[in-house]
Structure 1
Amino acid sequence: MTTRTEERRPAQKPAQRRGGRGGATIRRGIFPAVLYAVLAILILLPIALVVLSAFTDSPPRPGNINLTGLTLENFRTVFGPGTGQAAVNSLIVGVGSSVLALLIGGFLAFITARTNVYAKGFLYFVGLVPMFLPSYVGALAWAVLGGPNAGLINILARDLGLPQLVDIFNIGGLIFVLALYYAPYAFLLIHSSLSLMSPDLEEAARIHGATPGRVLRRVTLPLALPAILGAGILIFVLTVENFPVSQIIGSAGGLDTLPTYIYRLMNSAPSRANEAAAVAITLVLIVLVVTAIQRRIVSKRSFTTVSGKGMKLGVVGLGWFRAPALIIGILYFTLSAVLPIAALLFVTLHDSPYIGSVVGAFADGRLSLDMFADTLSSDLVLRATMNSVIVAVAAALIGTILAFVISYVVNRTKLPGKEGLGYVSMLPLAVPSIVLGLGLLWTWLIMPLPVYGTLLVLIIAFVAAQMPQGYQGASSSILQVHADLEDSAVMHGASRWRAVSKITVPLLRVPLTSTFLLLLMLSMRELTVPLFLFTTDTRLISIVIFDDFENGILQRSAATSLVYCVVIFILAFFSQKVGAKQKNV
């Protein structure tokens, strides 16, 4: 009789088992730790340096971060009359421009989504076209149009024997210009809400005898409230933190907002950087408080109206108002695009920077193409345009890749600490651009890497500032593709990296391309973030436009603005073509 002897492995000691698990946990935590380190340098460190500077008596310098000279003296500026008036102005401008932009964008959204207005396709285009004209270019054009003495509208009025008609350099003018160029945000959000809304409740109200106006007030608008509030808060935040429009329109009228006040503190001699940091914290707090209020209001009710049934939205007949609605849309198009571009073109074509008569310029043949020729052959403009394209393409590419990696870790893995990556990625939404730019300046001055003064620091800054948009775009894309396809490839022997590169990424080609194009357009339009980071050799075309206007070189600023708009339009055109090709593949 034979007996089988079984070989037994020696039992693993509890300490060894714990060590193995601990080693696996450490290995799994390495990749999130690397991502946290990247986001810390991009986002957390700049914000932390702004906060630190607000409580110290000297700003961060290379080789020296002051942790001993803690003080609250900087906040005396916050409670001083200058900051107080700037804060009041910012709130007035934010509320006023938000309300006006909501009225404009909401009106265009409603008539194009739910009515029988004439030329509906054209009016939809009208709602979007101001997005191709950066707000500071629009502000520059309206400064040319509406200046109290040398504004083209007032010069034309004098030609016709009329009194002065316009003065744009006041708080009303600032609200007007900001509303013109932020109304498209309201248009897009509200139009989407109205287009997806279930018609059942509206139809029920009509059956029970409600008039069209009552249905609109009691059913349609309340159901669209989340979109309206979301658009209002977004526009409020963007206008409160807007620097270039406030500087172009407000500075001429002696009007400060918090961003322009921060800029003045930084550019004073000597620089009052620590006080600027304290004021910057005030601006961040305003943004956070308003955002929290909006979330609280929306969370109190359910607004879900989209169902799985096919929906046929009711069309509201405008009756006699069809033509006036079209005229209102054309008026907005004229004010936001036609007049500004015509003003920039007229200033560029005029043979002298001094314009005494609009009518006389045409009658006396005082228009020429010389300034266009000079601008297009200018080394400064050509180099700035090339810098802008390089920085925008690189920032969009790096930003899309980084956003995809982070959103993949957050949405598709069980790696430790993944949730925090999403929160950090969204943090720049709560930090105004001028504050983030200030923090990025100090970050890359103290970092032991020689990137300050190069295009690389601008690329890094744009990636940091646009991380929320990139992360949102990549996350929404990943959530649309089920994980089973990728997991099946892994089960059949493919590595996770190979499954992602061969299955997930190709399936996300269209949305990731859209994210890249969004970041590209945002980078081309950006002015505030690089304001403290550029040097003589790294000027972007937006910086050239702003500097020329600030220095009184109005004709070249106008000509460069037109070149800038053409570049943005070309990029948008090719973006649309690429997007269309991707969708057809």
Structure 2
Amino acid sequence: MKVNGGIGGAAPAAWLAIAGLIVIVAIPFIAVVLQGIFPDLGQGSFAGPFSSFIATLGDGALIGMAANTVLLGGCVVLASALIAVPLGVFRALYRIPLAPVWDVLLLVPFMIPPYIATLGWIMTLQPRGYLQQLAGFNLAPFLFSLFGMTLVMTFNTFPVVYFAVSRTVEAVGARYADVGRVFGATPARAFWRITLPLSAPGLAASLMLVFAAAIEEYGTPAALGRRAGFQVLVTGIDLRITDWPIDLPGAALLSILLVAMSLVTFLAQRWILARRSYQTVGGKPTAKDKRPLGALKIPVMIAFAVVAFLATGVPLLAILSTALSRTISGGLALDNISFANFQSVFANSAGALVALANSFSLGIGTALITGLIGVMAAYTVVKTKIPGRMTIDVMTILPNALPGIVVAVGLILAWNMPWLPVTPYNTAFILLLAYCCILLPQPVRYTTAAFQQIGDNLEAAARVFGASSFTAFRRILLPLVFPSLASAMLLVFALASRELVASVVVAPVGMQTIATFIWRQFEQGSIGLGMAMAFIAILITTLLPLLLLTLLRRSGLVAE
């Protein structure tokens, strides 16, 4: 009898994972590569291979866009480190008053979609914005610049670094640095030579993730960068597929360049995590490892308060203030407060309720599909020995290096061929494919980690007592990984419900989602209505997953 990885028993899971990965990941990626090589592929011709390389690579703007992309990503990484590392270190090593409250406040920016946060900053800092109404001046020149874009994007991404640093440094604790001080090291030297090296892998990995997120972000460069004349690869790709004349080969080549940047970043992250590093053997530090702040209490609390206000308070207050304004020109005045915009949303003005229903339906569908494919792929890679499982592993990693704009371009190229008898293009299914490709890594990561923690003996014991592979998976393995899978699917639902770039590029004609509704309301001047929808979307996509997780915990399906 073959247990744990018998080819016959594992084959259905493997074939299901492979089929899903081919449709969701491989087809759009291969389409981008082929279109870049064969410019006339859309007409069914393989003539003139690589002929578009000269025209695209010879474009003088390409070097500028690539340099701007790297520059913006580097600036966001530096700013995130400057903000998050000190706060994370203090959170890990010292007893911070109201620490759980600060954690929640610093997590909220990560839950606000970047383009919505950007719109909030525009309403605050633009001429006659909220800052000028309150203080008499505006910071529009600052906002519509590289520095402004960097700061806005930093406030959205720094929580990744903050939580990584606080958790890794907390795991190290202060006792190792104390040993160094016993042997004569100064506090600064003990931190730089002991605590920081022990925490370096987690810090470096989080900064790599910030860089990847920054070079892939569309909303902020589109809203701020164009007015500043600062074009990056993402906006360049968007222009080539939305402005006439359409340049699909050029968009494909820029997409390949962006994928290469993302892939290099991801490989660097994996190299950092895989290389040998110092390890602790003393276990988790106890609470007494944390020290009182002493004279640093007031400065540290001010730092937490300022960062929380700028990252969470400013965008949320701007969004809510705009949503409650009767007219934008009325400004911050009591007689200008009205719930008319919220009433318009619930009255389906401009198709608001339809947009909500579309986004939530797509979010649920994405969560279910990625959850199914993710758990099958993770099971095949971790718990079987079948040939080809490493190919499945590579295909699940590939979406990490595919920015949303590249996925959108790939789907257009793959499914808009004139010779296709049936195509999902210009239907809601094309959005579902895009969301699944972008978000598939979430359930794969979660369930892979869960499967790795489950010993092989459980499935083997079930097989010895006559259970089939499917029965062992359904009755033993799936219940054990379900808490991780449920958490990942709820995250996928929240992210898919408000995804922007794929929605803007590949949404069918006449179909609106939450993201496209908000974006179009701003373009049409109905800013209050767009902000009302944004505030409702933030509440629902943040509170609904938390509520469902609470219910699952109470039912015992998810551990505390």
TM-score between the two structures when normalised by the length of structure 1: 0.88
Change (3 A) 1:157 1:40: same
**Which 10-residue stretch deviates more, 542-551 or 422-431?**
542-551
Alignment-mate amino acid for residue 122 of structure 2: A
Say if 2:468 is the partner of 1:495: yes
Change (3 A) 1:65 1:234: farther
User: d(CA) in 1 for partners of 2:122 and 2:504?
Assistant: 21
Using the alignment, how far apart are the partners of 1:216 and 1:575 within structure 2? Answer: 41
1:198–1:305 CA contact under 8 A, matched in 2: no
2:40 is matched with 58
Displacement after TM superposition at 1:408 (Å): 0.9
Rounded to whole Å, the distance in 2 between the matches of 1:470 and 1:303 is 30
Deviation at 1:367, TM superposition (A): 2.4
Contact 1:112/1:123 (8 A) holds in 2: no
Decide which moves more: 441-450 or 99-108.
441-450
| Change in CA separation of 1:439 and 1:212 when aligned onto 2, cut-off 3 Å | same
In the alignment, what sits opposite 1:93?
72
Greater C-alpha Rg = 1
Asked if 1:482 corresponds to 2:472, the answer is: no
- CA offset digits 1:160-218 (Å, max 9, x no partner): xx576863111111000000000111122222212222655323112113333332222
Deviation of 1:497 after TM superposition, in Å, equals 0.9
Given the alignment, which residue of 290, 305, 325 partners 2:300? 325
How do 1:14-163 residues align onto structure 2 when only pairs under 5 Å count?
32-33=14-15, 35-58=17-40, 60=42, 64-147=43-126, 149-158=127-136
Counterpart check, 1:287 vs 2:262: yes
Question: Does the 8 A contact of 1:426 with 1:467 survive in 2?
Answer: no
2:198 and 2:129 map into 1 onto residues whose CA distance is 43
1:182-261 map, 5 Å: 182-197=157-172, 199-261=174-236
Aligned residues: 550
Paired with 1:258 and 1:185, the residues of 2 have a C-alpha distance of: 23
Identify the residue that residue 546 of structure 1 maps to in structure 2. 519
- How many angstroms does 1:294 deviate by? 4.6
1:305 aligns with 2:280: yes
- Change in 2 beyond 3 A, CA 1:488/1:537: farther
Describe the shift of the 1:318–1:75 C-alpha distance in structure 2 as closer, same or farther (beyond 3 A).
farther
> CA-to-partner distance for each residue in 1:486-542, whole Å, 9 max, x for gaps?
221221122211121112112222222112212222212321233322124432101
Cα deviation code 1:472-496 (max 9, x no counterpart):
1111111222222222122112221
Same amino acid, percent of matched pairs: 24
Given candidates 318, 332, 340, the residue that maps to 1:370 is 340
Alignment map for 1:500-539 (pairs within 5 Å) = 500-539=473-512
Superposition deviation, residue 31 in structure 1: 6.2
How far does the alpha carbon of each residue in 1:309-343 deviate from its partner, in whole angstroms, 9 at most, with x for none? 77566224432221111111111111122121222
Structure 1: gaps of 5 or more residues: 1-23
Question: What per-residue deviation string (whole Å, max 9, x for no partner) do you get for residues 413-432 of structure 1?
Answer: 22221111011111011121
Matches within 5 A, 1:554-565: 554-565=527-538
Looking at structure 1, the residues matched to 97 and 500 of structure 2 have their Cα atoms a distance apart, in angstroms, of: 37
Matched, 1:384 2:355: yes
Q: Secondary structure at the match of 1:568?
A: helix
Alpha-carbon deviation of 1:30? 7.5
Q: 1:458 maps to which residue?
A: 431
Q: Structure 1 residues 134 and 452 mapped into 2: Cα distance closer, same or farther (>3 Å)?
A: same
Q: Is the 8 A contact 1:242 1:259 kept in 2?
A: yes
- Which residue of the partner structure matches residue 6 of structure 1? none
SS in structure 1 of the partner of residue 424 of structure 2 = coil
Please report how far the alpha carbon of residue 81 of structure 1 lies from its aligned counterpart in structure 2 after TM superposition.
Answer: 2.4
Which of 410, 415, 440 aligns to 1:467? It is: 440
Q: What secondary structure is seen at the aligned counterpart in 2 of 1:508?
A: helix
Alpha-carbon contact 2:396-2:444 (below 8 Å) kept = yes
Query: Secondary structure of the residue that 2:336 maps to in structure 1?
Result: coil
Tell me which residue corresponds to 1:21: none
Q: Which runs of 5+ in 2 are unaligned?
A: 1-5
User: Cα 1:178–1:345, aligned 2, differ >3 Å: closer, same or farther?
Assistant: same
Distance in 2, Cα, partners of 1:242 & 1:163: 26
* Secondary structure at the counterpart of residue 416 of structure 2: helix
1:165, 1:532 → 2: CA distance?
28
Tell me if the contact between 2:35 and 2:413 (Cα under 8 Å) persists in the aligned partners: no
- Give 1:229 deviation, angstroms: 0.7
Counterpart Cα distance in 2 of 1:164 and 1:416: 59
State whether structure 2 residue 536 is matched by structure 1 residue 574.
no
Structure 2 CA distance for aligned equivalents of residues 430 and 494 of structure 1: 39
Encode CA deviations 1:45-90: one digit per residue, 9 max, x unaligned: 2111111111233353xxx443223233344333422222222221
Change (3 A) 1:208 1:28: closer
The question of whether the paired residues in 2 share the 8 Å contact of 1:465 and 1:529 is answered with: no
Q: Distance in 2 between matches of 1:450 and 1:284?
A: 25
Cα offset, 1:569, TM superposition: 2.5
Match of 1:418? 389
Code of the residue aligned with 1:84 in structure 2: it is I
Which amino acid is the alignment partner of residue 131 of structure 1?
A: F
Whichever residue aligns with residue 169 of structure 2, its letter is L
Question: Could you tell me whether the CA contact under 8 Å between 2:52 and 2:249 is conserved in 1?
Answer: no
Distance 1:49 1:66, change over 3 A: farther
Letter in 2 for 1:386: A
Letter in 1 for 2:52: E
| Secondary structure, aligned partner of 2:184 | coil
- The CA distance in 2 between the partners of 1:494 and 1:231, in whole Å, is 42
TM-score normalized by the length of structure 2: 0.91
Distance 1:463 1:108, change over 3 A: same
- 1:334 counterpart residue number: 309
Alignment partner, residue 428 of structure 1: 399
Q: 1:238 to 1:482 in 2, by over 3 A?
A: same
The answer as to 2:264 corresponding to 1:264 is: no
User: How far has the Cα of 1:99 moved from its partner?
Assistant: 1.3
Retained in 1: the 8 A contact 2:83–2:158? yes
> What SS does the corresponding residue of 2:385 show, helix, strand or coil?
coil
Identify the range of structure 1 (440-449 vs 180-189) with the bigger mean alpha-carbon deviation.
Answer: 440-449
Q: 2 CA distance for matches of 1:251 and 1:578?
A: 45
Q: Is the 8 A contact 2:324 2:340 kept in 1?
A: yes
Residues 359 and 498 of structure 2 are in contact (CA less than 8 Å); yes or no, is this contact kept in structure 1? Answer: no
